[in-house]
């Protein structure tokens, strides 16, 4: 299924400055165009040492602007036109050099002249060595830029291109930048503005000993996508996430936990709320007594016996809580009798709706990118077609907004 055209009709001016992270700008262009945006690239001289205008132009399907003194591009004062004829300027990567120019009003090349002449929002995706990011001069520039209303995405912590170095300075990944752009340019109605939402996502890890645990194959993609979709509709979202390998969604408060008991505590601490969407694949069982040392296998010994204890039922606790949200939506990941099991859960857990899906191994849903769900209520079952998890999230967020709106009348 094609990606939702969340940036359809939006015009992005992408300024690529000279750092090794410039190679990520190629993927960023692709991601923006997939979502319907028009991308006009501006490259500094240093950027062209890392990626070529030919590659950038081919991906953007656009002329690449590079020269402040171009006879053709500047015959109609092109740098002023570029600064005004777009919805947003994104600088990715934003090096220490170009940030210093913006902060201090310098305009000695096309990119900096465009940035000085702008009257539209600006988003910076910093990328530099951790020592450069931590330098007092850079910190002063960041403070100045933030005070001028300029928005940032990143930098992130991680390994640097320079071997053996790590820290805060990596450019945000292209999809993280896209999410920030979508948030900045989202002029759609905000039906969940003023509403508080709690979402759980991912698996839980229940320790057996210091190196082993009980878990499942949940990737967290569906829960994270739902949290992001609710935030885009204006909700104040708290996402309680088990251990996952995907990035935190933009515009969402994220609380990272490992065990079911920790997830329950975080959810209860987030109450009161208007909406709870319990997506996490919480382990039903844990080892009653966790070993403080690694359980060793000895020749001739029988396999160890693990005594299990039941984990707290987070959905049931929220569904029957004194501060129960107005709307409680649970998920039922089943491998057999999907609808029957979902209908049983509806009353037992105190939910308003159960989103039921078949997670049998052959479906590829658990850990995959697509989903096929059915919305189970006390009045019937709504069968949704198979779609990618982002599309499921958008539809479910709209569904929740509609139900909360109806509950006010």
**What's the pLDDT tens digit per position in 291-327?**
999 988 888 888 888 999 999 999 999 999 999 999 9
Contact 21, 127 (CB under 8 A): yes
Cα–Cα distance list, 388 to 214, 230, 365, 385 (Å): 28, 17, 10, 10
Q: Report the sign of the C-alpha dihedral through residues 23, 26, 28, 31, in that order.
A: negative
108 annotated to a ligand binding site: no
What pLDDT score was predicted for residue 168? 87
Q: What are phi and psi of 11, to 5 degrees?
A: -110, 115
**Do 210 and 353 fall into the same domain?**
yes
284 annotated to a ligand binding site: yes
- Of residues 138 and 74, more confidently modeled: 138
Residue 247 above 50 pLDDT? yes
Long-range contacts of 114-118 (CB under 8 A, 24+ apart): 114/13, 114/15, 114/42, 114/79, 114/82, 114/83, 114/89, 115/15, 115/83, 115/89, 115/91, 117/79, 117/80, 117/83, 117/84, 118/83, 118/84, 118/89
Contact 32, 41 (CB under 8 A): no
Count of domains observed in the chain: 2
Prior bond to 392 cis, omega within 30?
no
**What's the pLDDT tens digit per position in 260-298?**
999 999 999 999 999 999 999 999 999 999 999 998 888
**Do 176 and 278 fall into the same domain?**
no
Return the active site residues.
Answer: 216
**Which pTM value belongs to this model?**
0.61
**What's the pLDDT tens digit per position in 193-229?**
999 999 999 999 999 999 999 998 899 999 999 999 9
Residue 11 above 50 pLDDT? yes
**Do 201 and 127 fall into the same domain?**
no
**Do 169 and 245 fall into the same domain?**
no
Q: Which pLDDT band, with edges at 50, 70 and 90, does 1 fall under?
A: very low
Domain that holds residue 235: 196-296+303-408
Percent above pLDDT 70 for the chain: 92
Give residue for tokens 């645990």: 213
To 10 degrees, the CA torsion angle through 229, 231, 237, 238?
60
What pLDDT score was predicted for residue 149? 87
**Do 127 and 252 fall into the same domain?**
no
10 annotated to a ligand binding site: no
Q: What are phi and psi of 15, to 5 degrees?
A: -95, 120
Q: Which pLDDT band, with edges at 50, 70 and 90, does 186 fall under?
A: confident
Q: Which pLDDT band, with edges at 50, 70 and 90, does 179 fall under?
A: confident
**Do 347 and 201 fall into the same domain?**
yes
What pLDDT score was predicted for residue 395? 92
45 annotated to a ligand binding site: no
What pLDDT score was predicted for residue 250? 76
Count of residues in the chain: 409
| 98 belongs to a structural domain | yes
| 6 belongs to a structural domain | no
- How far apart are alpha carbons 62 and 72 in whole angstroms? 15
């Amino acid at each position: 299924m094609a990606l939702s055209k969340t940036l359809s009709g939006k015009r992005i001016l992408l300024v690529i400055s000279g750092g090794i992270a410039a190679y990520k700008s190629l993927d960023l262009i692709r991601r923006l165009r997939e979502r319907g945006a028009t991308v006009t690239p501006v490259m500094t001289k240093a950027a062209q040492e890392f990626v070529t205008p030919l590659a950038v132009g081919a991906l953007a399907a656009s002329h690449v602007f590079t020269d402040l003194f171009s006879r053709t591009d500047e015959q109609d004062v092109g740098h002023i036109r570029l600064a005004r004829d777009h919805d947003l300027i994104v600088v990715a990567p934003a090096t220490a050099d170009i940030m210093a120019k913006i902060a201090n009003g310098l305009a000695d090349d096309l990119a900096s002249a465009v940035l000085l002449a702008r009257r539209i929002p600006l988003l910076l995706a910093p990328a530099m060595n951790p020592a450069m990011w931590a330098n007092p001069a850079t910190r002063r520039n960041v403070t100045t830029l933030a005070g001028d209303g300029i928005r940032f995405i990143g930098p992130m912590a991680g390994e640097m291109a320079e071997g053996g170095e790590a820290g805060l300075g990596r450019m945000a990944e292209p999809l993280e930048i896209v999410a920030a752009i979508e948030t900045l340019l989202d002029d759609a109605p905000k039906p969940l503005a003023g509403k508080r939402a709690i979402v759980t996502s991912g698996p839980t890890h229940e320790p057996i000993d210091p190196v082993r645990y009980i878990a499942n194959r949940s990737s967290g993609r569906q829960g994270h996508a739902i949290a992001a979709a609710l935030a885009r509709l204006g909700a104040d979202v708290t996402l309680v996430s088990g251990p996952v390998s995907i990035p935190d969604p933009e515009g969402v408060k994220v609380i990272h936990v490992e065990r079911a008991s920790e997830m329950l505590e975080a959810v209860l601490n987030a109450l009161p709320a208007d909406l709870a969407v319990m997506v996490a694949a919480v382990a039903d069982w844990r080892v009653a007594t966790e070993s403080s040392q690694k359980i060793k296998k000895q020749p001739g010994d029988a396999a160890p016996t693990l005594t299990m204890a039941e984990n707290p039922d987070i959905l049931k606790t929220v569904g029957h809580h004194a501060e129960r949200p107005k709307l409680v939506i649970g998920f039922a990941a089943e491998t057999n009798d999907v609808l029957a099991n979902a209908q049983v859960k509806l009353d037992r857990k105190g939910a308003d709706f159960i989103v039921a899906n078949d997670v049998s191994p052959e479906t590829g849903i658990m850990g995959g990118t697509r989903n096929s769900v059915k919305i189970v209520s006390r009045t019937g079952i709504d069968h949704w077609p198979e779609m990618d998890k982002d599309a499921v999230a958008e539809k479910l967020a709209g569904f929740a907004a509609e139900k909360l709106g109806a509950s006010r009348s």
